[in-house]
Amino acid sequence: MDEQFNFRKKYRNILLTIAAAGLVLTVISILIQTYGASRIWANVLLNNQYFMGIALGGAFFVAVHRVALSGWHTVLQRLPDAMTAFLPVAFILMLLIYFGMNHIYAWANFEGHNEVLEEKKAWLNIPFFFIRMIVYFSGWIALTWLMRRSSDTLMTSSEMKYQNQRRLFACLFLVFYAITVSTSSWDWIMSVDPLWFSTVFGWYVFISMFVTSLAFITLLIWLLKRLGYLRVVREDHVHDLGILLFSFSIFWTYLWFAQYELIWYGHLPEETTYYITRLKDFKPLFFINLGINFVVPFFGLIRFRSKRQLGWVAIIAIFLLAGHWLDYWLMIMPGAVGEKAGIGILEVFMTVVYASVFIFIVLRSLSVGPLVVKNDPFIKESLTYES
Amino acid sequence: MSNRKYISISFNDEVPMLQAVRKLRDSNETILDVLSPFPVHGLDDALSIKRSRIPVGGFIFGALGAILAFGFQAWVFTIDYPLIIGGKPYFSIPTFIPITFEVTVLFGGLSMVAAFLIRSKLKPEIEFESFDERITDDLFVILIDSGEEKTTVESIKATLSGIQTIKINEHTNG
């Protein structure tokens, strides 16, 4: 029970070496290839959004279970809590987008005449864009920090006052997140195609965040078990994670289809541009996206037994992590870069840099404090949980 | 089922009932059935009941429903009665998806209900005499086969000493 994750120097060095090597290779690939500034900046945006989404999805995971007074997740609660430690870094990286605004967003510094863009100017202008960014991140960082701290308080005191306080923070986070996840996805992703709009877009991005986050939690459990930790996490807990992965992958498909079907039926030029650009130049990727994010988890996790085997769920989780990266790619790249977009060494190396930094921060945050919460009011329920 | 003898053991709570199930199985009693007002976690394991195969049937019938619905629409809209709707091609997959989905769910759901009723031999004219009205409300009951001589109310009482039971009764031909 008194497990403490030891983030050994060896692991730290491996991760930092991968990050450094990836960074060097990214720079080299930028120098030897003529990618153009927009592709480089779009990659920064893509990876910021992707890893920030994993961190935010973790906070959502904890908050939603806390509001529902659920107990099963308590043994693995420290993992999503640790993931939220990436949010301040994501904030700084997102602010860097300031220098790439002209290369990604057509509405930034738009000169000329376009009625739609002039109407949208009240929302889409550079000062307000960054004011909103600061509001989102300060809200997310503050509320996740309060949620983490109130859990730490409960390790020493189990007074009802603190339990209610912790639940209150979770409620506040959910409300704030529900609004900001929509508006932030309009700001950062949907405005890449500034003339296009979709009302379901916020949910769609939110599901991508939650699925990647669940997949990352599963992989983290697998990794920690390989290193000999987290013996208290049994196949009953893995089963519930598998159910969530399965059902939210189906929900992702539902939203994907809801967006596609209505635009396909309506056949309005200002709406169909989004799909036309994606189907014209990136047809294989467009359908691979649907295959990885729906067909693989649907048939991979439909059986009772397959949801309970950590190794198998981890394999599906790797597919989903790759699939949702591709999903974000399809949302951002065709709009920001155009037909020159592609998945080349730049994309791979930059994602490797981000991933190793992300894992480094998560593991470092995990090594502070116990791996399984102590004295939590729900910990006994979680330890004896049967699904 | 003629002249079958059995013993019923009643509990107020699921925890002593689970303990009793484990003890009775350890002492090699034949448990005919366990009646409980709600699904009890761990009971299937304690009784070593295998997982139901109903989901497999549900999947097969669901897949059948998907194929039927998709095939039927494809046939109607291309061969039997082709219509141009909203300028779309005759064979346009997105229009077929919602109906395919609905029929898949319908087939899957109904087939699982039907499979459950058939496997449990439940039909309208079935007669049921309850020996205690509370078993449909809040009572947990274990039914034990007492055909063999060695199993009596006294022996069960001895086995279950220390576990909180309400009553232990002997019945004939329920």
Here the tokens at position A37 are 């500034």
Determine, for residues A257 and B87 on separate chains, whether the beta-carbon distance falls below 8 Å.
Answer: no
Let me know whether B147 and B111 are in one domain: no
Domain total of chain B: 2
Q: Which residues of B touch A (CB under 8 A)?
A: 41-42, 51, 55, 59, 86-87, 94-95, 97-98
A338-363 average pLDDT score: 93
Q: Tell me the nearest-neighbour CA distance from A66 into chain B, angstroms.
A: 23
pLDDT at B125: 83
**8 Å CB contact between A198 and A259:** yes
Q: Is residue B91 part of a domain?
A: yes
Q: Is residue B125 part of a domain?
A: no
* Residue B143's CATH number: 3.30.70.1710
CB-CB neighbors (< 8 A) of A265 in chain B: 86, 94-95
Determine, for residues A386 and B42 on separate chains, whether the beta-carbon distance falls below 8 Å.
Answer: yes
Q: From the candidates B18, B41, B44, which should be mutated to test the interface with A, based on the most A CB atoms within 10 A?
A: B41
**Closest residue in B to A262 (Cα–Cα):** B94
Q: Is residue B70 part of a domain?
A: yes
ipTM over 0.85: no
Let me know whether B101 and B72 are in one domain: yes
* Residue A57 predicted with pLDDT over 50: yes
Over residues A302-334, the pLDDT tens digits come to 999 999 999 999 999 999 999 999 999 999 999
Q: Which of B92, B119, B146 is the last residue of a domain?
A: B119
Determine, for residues A261 and B41 on separate chains, whether the beta-carbon distance falls below 8 Å.
Answer: no
Q: At CA A254, angle to CA A182 and CA B69, rounded to 5?
A: 160
* Residue A375 predicted with pLDDT over 90: no
Binned average pLDDT, 10 residues per bin, chain B of 174 residues: 75 88 86 87 85 91 97 95 90 94 96 92 80 82 79 81 83 68
Q: From the candidates A254, A255, A265, which should be mutated to test the interface with B, based on the most B CB atoms within 10 A?
A: A265
**Closest residue in A to B41 (Cα–Cα):** A386
Instruction: Quote the mean pLDDT of chain A.
Output: 92
Let me know whether B32 and B66 are in one domain: no
Over residues A118-129, the pLDDT tens digits come to 888 889 999 999
Over residues A67-120, the pLDDT tens digits come to 999 989 999 999 999 999 999 999 999 999 999 999 999 898 888 888 888 888
Determine, for residues A304 and B42 on separate chains, whether the beta-carbon distance falls below 8 Å.
Answer: no
Q: Tell me the nearest-neighbour CA distance from B145 into chain A, angstroms.
A: 29
Over residues B33-55, the pLDDT tens digits come to 888 888 888 888 888 888 888 99
> Which residues lie across from B35 on neighbouring strands?
B141
Structural domain harbouring B31: 5-37+138-172
B51, B94, B97 member nearest A304 (Cβ): B51
Q: Is residue B98 part of a domain?
A: yes
At residue A56 the predicted structure's pLDDT band, cuts being 50, 70 and 90, is very high
B41, B42, B86 member nearest A265 (Cβ): B86
Q: Tell me the nearest-neighbour CA distance from A262 into chain B, angstroms.
A: 10
In a 13 Å sphere around the CA of A258, the CA atoms on its Cβ side amount to 13
Over residues A253-308, the pLDDT tens digits come to 999 999 999 999 998 998 999 999 999 989 999 999 999 999 999 999 999 999 99
Q: For residue B54, give every residue at least 6 positions away whose Cβ sits within 8 Å of its Cβ, in sequence order, or none.
A: B112, B115, B116, B119
**8 Å CB contact between A285 and A258:** no
Let me know whether B61 and B114 are in one domain: yes
* Residue A162 predicted with pLDDT over 90: no
**8 Å CB contact between A66 and A143:** no
Let me know whether B59 and B115 are in one domain: yes
* Residue A345 predicted with pLDDT over 60: yes
Let me know whether B32 and B58 are in one domain: no
Distances (CA, A) of A365 to A78, A86, A92, A222: 9, 9, 18, 18
Determine, for residues A261 and B98 on separate chains, whether the beta-carbon distance falls below 8 Å.
Answer: yes
Q: Tell me the nearest-neighbour CA distance from B135 into chain A, angstroms.
A: 25
* Residue A25 predicted with pLDDT over 80: yes
Question: A269 by DSSP, 3-state: which?
Answer: helix
pLDDT at B1: 46
Let me know whether B61 and B100 are in one domain: yes
Q: Is residue B131 part of a domain?
A: no
Q: Which residues of A touch B (CB under 8 A)?
A: 257, 260-261, 264-265, 267, 302, 304, 386
pLDDT at A347: 93
Where is pLDDT greater, at A76 or A34?
A76
A247-251 average pLDDT score: 96
Over residues A221-239, the pLDDT tens digits come to 999 999 999 989 999 999 9
Determine, for residues A304 and B87 on separate chains, whether the beta-carbon distance falls below 8 Å.
Answer: no
Let me know whether B24 and B61 are in one domain: no
Q: Which of A353, A345, A277 is nearest to A48 (CA)?
A: A353
Q: Is residue B92 part of a domain?
A: yes
pLDDT at B149: 67
Q: Is residue B12 part of a domain?
A: yes
